Amino acid sequence: METPDTSDSGTVSCNPLHQNEKARQNEASITRSHSQNNKGHISLRFDNRRFTYSELVAITNGFQQVIGRGGFGKVYQGLMEDGTQVAVKLRSESSDQGEQEFLAEAQTLAKIHHKNLVSLIGYCKDREYMALVYEYMAQGALDEHLNGKDNNQSILTWRQRLRIALESAQGLEYLHKGCNPPLIHRDVKTSNILLNANLEAKIADFGLLKAFNSNSDTHVSSARVVGTLGYLDPEYQATFQLTNKSDVFSFGVVLLEIITGQRHILKDPEPTSIVQWVRQRLACGSIEGVVDTRMHGDHNVNSVWKIADTALKCTAHNPMQRPTMTDVVAVLQDCLEIEVAHNDVNAGIYLAGSGGDMNGYGRYDIDTSSGVS
What is the arithmetic mean of pLDDT over 341-346? Answer: 71
pLDDT at 371: 45
Binding residue ranges: 89
How does the average pLDDT of the chain come out, rounded?
A: 79
For the chain, give every domain's residue range.
13-135, 142-346
Instruction: Give the Å distances, CA to CA, from 206 to 156, 241, 295.
Output: 26, 19, 32
- Band (pLDDT 50/70/90 cuts) for residue 253 is very high
How confident is the model over 110-154, as pLDDT tens digits? 888 899 999 999 989 888 899 999 999 999 999 999 986 555 567
Residue 327 a catalytic site member: no
pLDDT at 242: 85
pLDDT at 150: 56
Q: What angle do CA 188, 189, 195 make, to 5 degrees?
A: 105
Q: Which of 5, 143, 187, 292 is catalytic?
A: 187
pLDDT at 96: 62
Instruction: Give the Å distances, CA to CA, from 336 to 88, 167, 199.
Output: 34, 11, 15
Share of the chain above pLDDT 70, in %: 72
pLDDT at 361: 30
- Band (pLDDT 50/70/90 cuts) for residue 372 is very low
Query: Among positive and negative, which fits the CA dihedral 247, 253, 255, 261?
Result: negative
Please check the confidence at residue 39 and state whether its pLDDT lies above 90: no
Q: Is it true that domain 13-135 has CATH number 1.20.1050.10?
A: no
- Give the 3-state DSSP-derived string for the chain, with helices as H, strands as E and coil as C: CCCCCCCCCCCCEECHHHCCHHHHHCCCCEEEEEEECCCCCEEEEECCEECCHHHHHHHCCCCCCEEEECCCEEEEEEECCCCCEEEEEEECCCCCCCHHHHHHHHHHHHHCCCCCECCEEEEEEECCEEEEEEECCCCCEHHHHHCCCCCCCCCCCHHHHHHHHHHHHHHHHHHHHCEECCEECCCCCHHHEEECCCCCEEECCCCCCEECCCCCCCCEECCCCCCCCCCCCHHHHHHCEECHHHHHHHHHHHHHHHHHCCCCEEECCCEEEHHHHHHHHHCCCCHHHCCCHHHCCCCCHHHHHHHHHHHHHHCCCCHHHCCCHHHHHHHHHHHHHHHHHHHHHHCCCCCCCCCCCCCCCCCCCCCCCCCCC
Binding residue ranges for ATP: 89
What CATH number labels 142-346?
A: 1.10.510.10
pLDDT at 309: 96
pLDDT at 270: 87
pTM of this prediction exceeds 0.85: no
User: Which phi-psi region, left, alpha or beta, contains residue 73 (left: φ > 0; alpha: ψ -120 to 50)?
Assistant: left
How confident is the model over 80-121, as pLDDT tens digits? 999 999 999 998 877 666 677 677 777 777 888 899 999 999
